[in-house]
Structure 1
């Protein structure tokens, strides 16, 4: 089952050298485990998604250039679809951004 992602969830680009945390700025009231829930609007370079180190395509700093999040939830927050742990975002340079580790803690009962 897919899980919703939140602020500080680790992202990677398949063309980048390092991971980076997602910064949620698209909404300010829906949270899970005390962290804001991410939406499809959390895709601004250097604001929501920081650089991924060296880009294997450009051979220089891997500054993200996100186009659109895919595989989003059917549910919305203020008209913006929620992001899931299997959501991906194409970069206009040629890479694909995906979730590495979700940042929330679930208790199994």
Structure 2
């Protein structure tokens, strides 16, 4: 079952050399375990998504160029679809951004 992701969730780009954490700025009131929930609008380079080190496509700094989040939730926060741990975002340079590890602590039943 897919889980919602929050501020500080670890992201990776399949063309980048390192991971980075997501910074949620698209909304300011929906939280899980005290962290803001991420939405499809959290895709601004350097603001929401920091560089991923060296890009294997550009052979230089991997500054993200996100296009659109896919595999989002059916649920919305102020008209913006919530992101899930299986959401991905295509980068216009050629890479695919995905979730490495959610910032939430999941309890298995």
Kindly indicate whether residue 100 of structure 2 is the aligned counterpart of residue 69 of structure 1.
Answer: no
TM (norm. structure 1) is 0.98
The number of residues matched between the two structures is 109
Cα deviations across residues 47-76 of structure 1 (Å, max 9, x unaligned)?
000000000000000000000000000000
Matched with 1:34 is 34
Matched with 1:83 is 83
Segments ≥4 residues shifted beyond 3 Å: none
TM (norm. structure 2) is 0.98
Please, which runs of 5 or more residues in structure 2 have no aligned partner?
none
Name the CA distance, whole Å, in 1 between partners of 2:3 and 2:106. 10
Kindly indicate whether residue 99 of structure 2 is the aligned counterpart of residue 99 of structure 1.
Answer: yes
1:9-20 paired onto structure 2 within 5 Å = 9-20=9-20
User: Pairwise CA RMSD of aligned residues?
Assistant: 0.6
Kindly indicate whether residue 15 of structure 2 is the aligned counterpart of residue 25 of structure 1.
Answer: no
